[in-house]
Structure formats: C-alpha cells, structure tokens
C-alpha cells in the first residue's frame, strides 16, 4: 500500500529558510499536499501540487516535486515564529479522494 | 461559525463503554471522513463516506463503526472502548473537486482509561 514518510522534527532560527522533506512510495499519486496543524487545531491545507508539475510557488512557500525519486519538499522562506506547527505531507491517487498522510514534521522556530 | 464542527472536544471514558463522536458540516460537501491521529504515526483513515448511502472502511476500521445520518452529519462510534483507542480524532469533508482538498474539524481528544 501507500507509504508516506517524513522526519519528525526540524528546528530553525527565525528569518532562516525551512525545508521540510517527504518521500512517498505510490508512483500513481495524483496530487501531493502540505497541511499545517497548529497547536490544538485541525489540519489546514497550505498548498498542493499536481503530479505533472515539478514546482509550485505561493508567496513564502515553495513546493518541489521530484517524481523520479518520489520526493516532495516544502520550503518556507523567512520563517517566522507563527510558522511553528506540525506539517503533514499527504498524497492522493486517482479519483478516490482518499489521502494518505505522513507522520508529520514538527517545526520549531527559535529566536 | 466553523464550517466543520466536532462534539465533544474532549472526552474521558472507561474501558468497555460505548461512545459516539459527532461531526457536522455546513460546507455542503458530499464526502466525509474520520481519522485518528497518534504521535509519530500521523493521521490514519478510519472510515469515509462519499454520500449518505455510501460508507467505506479505511485502513484501521476495526473497533469502530460509523453512521451517516444526513449529508451534513457523520458520527463515529466506539462500541466497546479500549485504552489503545486513546487518540485525537478528526472529521474532514471534501467536495471531491480538483485537488481533493479536505477541510478538517478541530478534533476530539478521547482518553480511554
């Protein structure tokens, strides 16, 4: 079945760039997503990328997709303390509208 | 008002008790989902429903059941709660459109003692 993996923790200094990485196994993934979970809250979609794209940029966020290596990354430029959260990578296949989530990466932003 | 609401937000129950978690949405979406979140394991799909007459098991449905009472309501039941069902439970909805974005509720923290 599908498997999505992420490292569990990342610490960066305020103002630096953060890069959160994700690998997945399902080569038929249609969409790949980044969700953000703030403390005590549900998940909120940050951005997604269609599988035939290799990059998507949205303000401070840059998503890179390497289909050959099944690797997805999220870069947050000028990281702020408000970016501290858990970031989940997820993938969906076909029209099933089911998501498979990674384990989540906790981003800690230090002053 | 929130688009996806869950009740209760927190619940402590004892082993063997039956418990129901409720989810309501005002987004008008047909698709609804129940996930559980455990530290280090991410979110895992318990059940999902694409309309009122369509219920499907996810990857970890054992010990759980669901009811889709209406387009806007999707309930998750634990027939006989056990301690390893202690987790954070999320309901989500989707319109199934391009991108399949899912909208999540705030979660229910369930503790089984």
Residue of A19, A32, A9 whose CA lies nearest to A92: A32
To the nearest whole angstrom, how far is the Cα of B32 from the nearest Cα of chain A? 10
B55 Cβ under 8 Å from any chain A Cβ: no
Beta bridge partners of B76: B21, B66
Beta bridge partners of B87: B110
B105 Cβ under 8 Å from any chain A Cβ: yes
By Cβ distance, the residue of A44, A98, A101 closest to B42 is: A101
Q: Is a pLDDT exceeding 60 seen at residue A63? A: yes
Minimal-distance CA residue of chain A relative to B57: A98
Other Cβ atoms within 10 Å of A59 Cβ, number: 8
Q: Per the CB < 8 Å rule, is B40 touching A31?
A: no
The rounded distance, in Å, linking the Cα atoms of B4 and B92 is 7
- Residue by residue, pLDDT tens for chain B (113 residues) are 679 999 999 999 999 999 999 999 999 999 999 999 998 888 999 999 999 999 999 989 999 999 999 999 999 999 999 999 999 999 999 987 766 788 999 999 999 99
Residue of A46, A80, A79 whose CA lies nearest to A63: A46
In tens, the pLDDT along A69-107 reads: 999 999 999 999 999 999 999 998 765 568 889 999 999
pLDDT of B26 reads: 96
pLDDT of A44 reads: 92
Q: Per the CB < 8 Å rule, is B45 touching A99?
A: yes
In sequence order, what E strands does A25-94 have?
29-37, 43-50, 55-58, 61-66, 71-76, 85-93
Quote the mean pLDDT of chain A: 91
Cis bond upstream, residue B8 (ω within 30) = yes
């Amino acid at each position: 079945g599908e498997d999505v993996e992420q490292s569990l923790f990342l610490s960066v200094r305020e103002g630096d760039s953060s890069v959160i990485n994700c690998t997945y196994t399902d080569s038929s993934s249609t969409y790949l997503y980044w969700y953000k979970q703030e403390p005590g809250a549900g998940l909120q979609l940050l951005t997604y990328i269609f599988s035939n794209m290799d990059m998507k940029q949205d303000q401070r966020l840059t998503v890179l997709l390497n289909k050959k290596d099944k690797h997805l990354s999220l870069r947050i430029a000028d990281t702020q303390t408000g970016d501290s959260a858990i970031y989940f990578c997820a993938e969906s296949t076909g029209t099933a509208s089911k998501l498979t989530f990674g384990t989540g990466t906790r981003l800690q932003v230090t002053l | 008002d929130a688009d996806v609401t869950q009740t209760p937000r927190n619940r402590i129950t004892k082993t063997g008790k039956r418990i129901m978690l409720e989810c309501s949405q005002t987004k008008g979406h047909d698709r609804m989902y129940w996930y559980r979140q455990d530290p280090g394991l991410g979110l895992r799909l318990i059940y999902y429903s694409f309309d009122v007459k369509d219920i499907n098991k996810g990857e970890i449905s054992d010990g759980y059941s669901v009811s889709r009472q209406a387009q806007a309501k999707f309930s998750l039941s634990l027939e006989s709660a056990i301690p390893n069902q202690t987790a954070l439970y999320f309901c989500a909805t989707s319109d199934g459109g391009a991108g399949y974005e899912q909208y999540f509720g705030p979660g229910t923290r369930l503790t089984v003692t």
